[in-house]
Structure 1
Amino acid sequence: MARPAAAQQTAVAPGAAPAVAPLAASAPARSILFVGNSFTYGALSPVRRYRAETVTDLNQSGIGGVPALFKRFTDQAGLAYAVSLETASGMGLDYHYTQKRALIDKAWDVVILQDFSTLDRAKPGDSGLHRRFAALLAKMIVARNPAVDIELSATWSRADLVYKPGSPWSGQPIDRMAADLRRAADQARAASRQIRGVIPIGEAWSRAIVAGLADPNPYDGIGFGQIDLWSYDQYHASAYGYYLEALLVFGRVTGLDPRSLGVGELAADDLGFAPGVTLALQRIAADQLASETALSRR
């Protein structure tokens, strides 16, 4: 993955947490587009309208969401990004390709593609639509800029589909759905030369649960000292969950260690996170991204 020059200069060694760099006014802005649904725009949380004025919502619906968190991070890291988003509630990549091409068929430096939470609403877990429309979108986007970095988001296990009956993941371990979604994203990436990578959001959620930071089952109460990654519907993310998502996008796209943002990171402070939780989420994101790098070297 090609990194911007500023990222190469400010990347940190694992474990380090230097002060956040000031924004370099002279740096040319890289364009990044987020394509997705409520999992990208931060539904059922204060993230949805967070700093919407700092990003461009192509649908003009006043969304800040995960893109605005990413923008907040990059500003603090001294990186210039022009952030845009095109999101629609409950929609998959097929919708964005068939209905929103006029908005997204432009030259971008980075594009993040996030699909429906079960991949296929009619056939949950079936990856056929995911592979097909990820490839079609990637082909369209690359035609505008052959050097674009296209990343697929592999999202989280939905607690409502794990702890309630009636889904393919009912009664399965909480990490199973996230693993299945990651497998589908890997298949889509393998099927398309234009897709550069996968952002392991769901696996980072699973890592947070294993580490004891996040409670695995919101239906039986949240353990003392733990956080709830899900919102009140046990489907969408809480502010903590979206923050972790944004950290992973930040680390994957810029090449920077998320821990470089540090305990004083401004978005976490705006959202009212305890300092220890901020650091723990940054550590989880960094560890997940490091594990991806280790796997790619084998």
Structure 2
Amino acid sequence: MRALKIAALLVLFPAMAHARTILFIGNSFTYGANSPAHFYKSDTVHDLNGPGPNGKTVGGVPAIFKAFTKEAGLDYDVSLETVGGKGLDFHYAQKRAVIDRPWDVVVMHGYSTMDQAHPGDPSLLVSSAKQVTDMLRARNPKVDVWLDATWSRADQTYPDGTPWHGKPIQQMAKDVYAGYLKAAAAAHANGVVPLGLAWNRAFDTAVADPNPYDGIADGKLDLWSWDHYHASIQGYYLEALMVFGKVTGKDPLSLGENETVAEDMGFSKPQTHALQQVAHDQLAQ
């Protein structure tokens, strides 16, 4: 009888259930540099590094993810630890005291070229992803670890003398994805978020313009910011959609064309739907 009463209370008060904890580890590609994402809804997430020189804490992609989960009726307690221009080796060496805790889910990525000194070489990413994952699993053996494979940088592809010059814009993302697959295998991670491949899909389906150096075609989005390196708000929105779909298992299209973050950022309904469709299609692969 007592067991039945306890079960009834759990049904009546589901809000008492433990929120799922998630940590984002990354750099400017996570905190949303050069876009309105940077400080967006920072009061809804925990910036483990505290306020910056301007007195503000970061919202970024984690705050967009948090907004998506609330709209979907999910309960996630979201934290982030981000430092611009750094890879996972830095976070392991310098931020271990901050991130070495039990988490339910961790989403992380390294430097955009995998190795700042040796662009395209995944060796450092592979070793550091394993170090961080081993640390996390020592705290919680059941933690879900997802590696977020980032996008092609136009500034590393189109200008002369850059590492991917002369190759299609899609190639850098493919190389990065291949490196992240190696890292995920070495770390025994849950898998890879194919973000860069979603950007490629946006280019290939004419949702986004693949070359910002020759202007943006009418009706297409620019997924990069002004430096052709970081993402625009549309690019970060796509990142959050991909993480949302991969981590929660929910279809990004379920958020709908009236999704609140998109409305806050001034997206048209067709733009919102197009980005959600790209994420849906990429996650379905």
Specify the TM-score bucket, using the shorter chain as the normaliser.
Answer: over 0.9
Cα distance in 2 for residues equivalent to 1:165 and 1:93: 29
For residue 88 of structure 1, what is the aligned residue in structure 2? 83
For residue 34 of structure 1, what is the aligned residue in structure 2? 24
For residue 113 of structure 1, what is the aligned residue in structure 2? 108
Cα distance in 2 for residues equivalent to 1:191 and 1:100: 22
Cα distance in 1 for residues equivalent to 2:97 and 2:128: 16
For residue 179 of structure 2, what is the aligned residue in structure 1? 184
1:247 alignment partner, SS class: helix
Cα distance in 1 for residues equivalent to 2:186 and 2:26: 20
Does 2:265 correspond to 1:280?
no
Q: Which amino acid aligns with 1:214?
A: A
1:216 alignment partner, SS class: coil
Does 2:220 correspond to 1:226?
yes
Q: Which amino acid aligns with 2:253?
A: R
From 228, 242, 248, the equivalent of 2:242 is: 248
CA deviations over 1:97-130 (Å, ceiling 9, x no partner): 0000000000000001111000111111111100
From 42, 52, 63, the equivalent of 1:52 is: 42
**How many residues were matched structurally?**
267
* CA deviation after TM superposition for structure 1 residue 26, in Å: 4.3
For residue 136 of structure 2, what is the aligned residue in structure 1? 141
Q: Which amino acid aligns with 1:240?
A: Q
From 248, 252, 263, the equivalent of 2:257 is: 263
* CA deviation after TM superposition for structure 1 residue 27, in Å: 4.2
For residue 100 of structure 1, what is the aligned residue in structure 2? 95
Does 2:156 correspond to 1:161?
yes
1:163 alignment partner, SS class: coil
TM-score by length of 2: 0.92
For residue 215 of structure 1, what is the aligned residue in structure 2? 209
Q: Which amino acid aligns with 1:34?
A: F
Cα distance in 2 for residues equivalent to 1:34 and 1:187: 20
Q: How does 1:14-25 map to 2 (within 5 A)?
A: 25=15
Residue segments in structure 2 that go unaligned for 5+ positions in a row: 1-13, 52-56
* CA deviation after TM superposition for structure 1 residue 165, in Å: 1.6
Cα distance in 2 for residues equivalent to 1:190 and 1:104: 22
- The runs of at least 4 aligned residues of structure 1 exceeding 2 Å deviation read 24-28
Does 2:74 correspond to 1:79?
yes
Cα distance in 2 for residues equivalent to 1:27 and 1:144: 21
Cα distance in 2 for residues equivalent to 1:280 and 1:27: 35
TM-score by length of 1: 0.88
Cα distance in 2 for residues equivalent to 1:26 and 1:205: 39
For residue 193 of structure 2, what is the aligned residue in structure 1? 199
Cα distance in 2 for residues equivalent to 1:118 and 1:67: 22
* CA deviation after TM superposition for structure 1 residue 229, in Å: 0.1
Cα distance in 2 for residues equivalent to 1:146 and 1:221: 48
Residue segments in structure 1 that go unaligned for 5+ positions in a row: 1-23, 292-298
For residue 146 of structure 2, what is the aligned residue in structure 1? 151
